[in-house]
Amino acid sequence: MAAAAEPRPARGMANHGIAQVEVDGSGIPSLFTVPPSIVDLLETSSSVLQRDTVEECLPFLNGDEHAGKCNQHGIPRLDKQRHVKFLQKQLGKLPPQMTAADPSRPWFFYWCLAALTLLGEDVTAYSKRLVETVRPIQNESGGFGGGFGQQSHLATTYATVLALMLVGGEGAYDVIDRRAMWKWLCSLKQADGGFQMVVGGEEDVRGAYCASVIISLLGIPLELSPDSPAFVAGHKDLFSGLGEWVGRCQTYEGGVAAIPGIEAHGAYAFCALGCLSILDSPHRSIPKYMNVPQLIAWLSSRQYSPEGGFSGRTNKLVDGCYSHWVGGCWPLIQAALSGPSSSEARSADQQDAYSGSLFSRNGLIRYILCCCQDQTLRGGLRDKPSKYSDAYHTCYVLSGLSSAQHSWTLRASRPSGSTGGADEWDAMPYVEDEQIFNEDDRIGTTHPVYVIPKHKVEAAWEHYASKTGF
Ligand SMILES: [Zn+2]
């Protein structure tokens, strides 16, 4: 190990609640303006790639690649118009090289509609077109495949359901066969409490999250059908044993793996926390099934300097999409630590200790705006400067930007021990640090659990609650 550089002297200090972080005059924490203070002298293929990535990002972070188009904090504008055009194009006819992505069509619907919504676009006009496109890909046995004639899969069903909720309206809500969906979900529920992604296929933490979101949004009854593999093993409902199964995916590093016993990964951490926040309020369910201090240590280690973005795994590189997968964990962790803000039972420690941010929001915002915007005419957002934009990264980079620009509070939790009811969440612009982006570049908000706007979640609940039975 060797000291690489002396940090620049701090001109100001910002209180982040957890620790003091030095901030220079530009509003950027100095951690992100100097090379790493400790460098491992043992060269490996990972350390070479990491060094190359820092070198690739620095000209963008320093504003050299933005040709004088930065604000006084050295941050370029969010080019909303170009990104909107890119997303609209992705919802049209795609070129022949996209044929291999055909089974992922529902994902394109979700990524584009969710990102357009975050950019302030009204997507209800897509409703009729979306309903007619997804109707033939719904299987009579329940769920949606990736295209016509394809087997139902939890990932494509999740994406289809969210896309339908985004466009909203009776036609979109009622195209879903909820009875068949219930039957199909029962067939995916396993004896060990988890969910397979597809009948006879892999069981992993994506299944736990996708199934919980679908069950919760659509108001699917929890009762298990007697022919479910889980019923035969003694489970009585779709959620029983699920928290325990998710808890087993936490690894020795503190992060969460796809299945018990393999490597921790940022996207699976989000799936685990999202699932647990559906099973019960996060301040009860997350500490019940996870070692929270270890999880925080692992999540904190995902933010790199000087890049400011998040990596998905230990010794891997920053990538824009983890702005959501890792960035989206923080509001749920914050709620797990602080509990509902309305609760009189909160201790003084809970009131004070976590009032700041658990990660550097300005570090992440700088990475996103400087490194993730595709600067060609194409528009859209990307993994890092050497990559092209795509619909997936555009969606999840914007979702990460939204959670860095806002703070979510668990205002009120559902009653303890209840099987129904919902938590109430509130989003507010985050104002505790110096704002480094232009106010016009603030984007919309997305529910921290369901990753569609809160009012779209509430509209879906209201619609399905009005139904008697299926
Ligand atoms: Zn990525």
What is the set of active-site residues? 265, 313, 316, 319, 321-322, 383, 390, 393
The whole-number average pLDDT for the span 182-195 is: 98
- Nearest Cα to 364, choosing from 332, 316, 328? 328
Distance from the CA of 115 to the center of ligand 1, in angstroms?
15
Each residue of 26-54: pLDDT tens digit? 778 888 887 777 778 899 999 999 999 99
Rounded to 5°, the CA angle 311-314-319 comes to 15
Distance from the CA of 392 to the center of ligand 1, in angstroms?
8
Each residue of 87-141: pLDDT tens digit? 999 999 989 999 999 999 999 999 999 999 999 999 999 999 999 999 999 999 9
Ordered alpha helix ranges (H), 314-453: 322-325, 329-338, 348-353, 361-371, 391-405
Residue type, 168: G
pLDDT band, residue 23 (cuts 50/70/90):
low
Distance from the CA of 311 to the center of ligand 1, in angstroms?
9
Give the up-direction half-sphere exposure of residue 442: CA atoms within 13 A in the CB hemisphere: 13
Q: According to the model, what pLDDT value does residue 8 have? A: 35
Element of type H or E holding 185 = helix 178-188
Distance from the CA of 324 to the center of ligand 1, in angstroms?
10
Q: According to the model, what pLDDT value does residue 239 have? A: 97
State how far the Cα of 265 lies from the Cα of 163, in Å rounded to an integer: 25
Give how far Cα 53 sits from Cα of 309, 360, 363, Å. 11, 20, 16
Maximum alpha-carbon separation in the chain: 67
| CB count in 10 Å sphere of residue 85 | 15
Distance from the CA of 397 to the center of ligand 1, in angstroms?
9
Give the up-direction half-sphere exposure of residue 65: CA atoms within 13 A in the CB hemisphere: 18
Distance from the CA of 320 to the center of ligand 1, in angstroms?
6
State how far the Cα of 157 lies from the Cα of 146, in Å rounded to an integer: 8
Relative orientation angle of helices 105-118 and 80-90, to the nearest 10 degrees: 160
Q: What percent of the chain has pLDDT over 70?
A: 91
Q: According to the model, what pLDDT value does residue 37 have? A: 74
State how far the Cα of 327 lies from the Cα of 359, in Å rounded to an integer: 8
Q: What percent of the chain has pLDDT over 90?
A: 81
Backbone angles phi, psi at 381, to 5 degrees: -120, 160
Q: According to the model, what pLDDT value does residue 115 have? A: 98
Each residue of 354-410: pLDDT tens digit? 557 899 999 999 999 999 999 888 999 999 999 999 999 999 999 999 999 999 999
Task: Answer for the pair 2, 333: CB distance below 8 angstroms, yes or no.
Answer: no
Evaluate if residue 1 carries a pLDDT over 70. no
Give how far Cα 225 sits from Cα of 184, 201, 203, 221, Å. 10, 20, 19, 10
Task: Answer for the pair 189, 230: CB distance below 8 angstroms, yes or no.
Answer: yes
Evaluate if residue 210 carries a pLDDT over 50. yes
Give how far Cα 429 sits from Cα of 122, 177, 282, 404, Å. 21, 38, 21, 9
Collapsing DSSP to helix, strand or coil, 270 comes out as: helix
Distance from the CA of 88 to the center of ligand 1, in angstroms?
21
Which residue in the block uniquely carries the two structure tokens 């941010």? 357
First vs last C-alpha separation in the chain: 63
| CB count in 10 Å sphere of residue 218 | 21
Distance from the CA of 383 to the center of ligand 1, in angstroms?
5
**pTM of the predicted protein model:** 0.93
Q: According to the model, what pLDDT value does residue 67 have? A: 82
The whole-number average pLDDT for the span 183-198 is: 98
Give how far Cα 220 sits from Cα of 35, 279, 338, 447, Å. 51, 14, 30, 20
Long-range contacts of 60-65 (CB under 8 A, 24+ apart): 60/370, 60/371, 60/385, 61/32, 61/306, 61/307, 61/308, 61/366, 61/367, 61/370, 61/371, 63/370, 65/375, 65/385
